[in-house]
Amino acid sequence: MIDDFDLHGREEAFDPFSVVLFKALQVIAFLFFVVFIIISPKANEGKIDSKAEFIITMDWPDNHPDDMDIFVQDPLGNIAWYRRREAGFLVLDRDDRGGLNDFVMVNGRKQQTKVREELVSIRGFVAGEYTVNVYHFTALTKQPVPVTVTVQKLNPVAKIVARETVDTAEGGTELTAIRFTMDAQGEVTGTSREARSILRGMHNAWNKNR
């Protein structure tokens, strides 16, 4: 009697052929999916898809109040630092001023972060020597601060090509952390710790052009 009110559709007559055909289509679809998984290229672990070719990281102890600055000079004399964030293929991606600007925005509110880190990326190849220096801008603690500089090649796979730690205790101190040479294909051919002042070179060039 409930069928008189048309509240439920009537059941169609059972058709074995339709059921078999439907199951066959399900099997074909499943096999197609399996074949697609097999022939699709596998992910290459460690592969970096980045516009940068190298990343240079300078970090010092978490929550440290002192302000450290990184200076990177390429073979053409271009220098990336906090007053010139882009120079040639060099880009200062992060300028960390110790406890002054270490925060992130969460739900519209500033929250302090503990990480102390500056980042410079190299976005193309220029053959020759690069110099990476650490400058102790503000020494609030008056204590030695270990600063680690890491040079990482990103493509085709990420790998560390140099890492050094220097200790600096006085404000206004400039130390060479790493010098490395690169060929025209972007391969690092050598590293050095020989001291070389970038700031002195900048000062001499400024006096010469006055």
Question: Which pLDDT score is estimated for 120?
Answer: 98
pTM greater than 0.75 (yes/no): no
Q: DSSP secondary structure string, 99-134?
A: TSS-EEEETTEEEE---EEEEEEE-S---EEEEEEE
pLDDT in tens, 82-131: 999 999 999 999 988 765 555 556 677 766 678 899 999 999 999 999 99
- The domain limits of the chain are 2-39, 54-208
Question: Which pLDDT score is estimated for 41?
Answer: 42
Across 48-62, 91-105, 158-172, least confident range: 91-105
Question: Which pLDDT score is estimated for 29?
Answer: 59
Across 86-100, 121-135, 143-157, 185-199, least confident range: 86-100
Q: Is the pLDDT of residue 1 over 50?
A: no
Angle at 100 between CA 144 and CA 133, to 5 degrees: 45
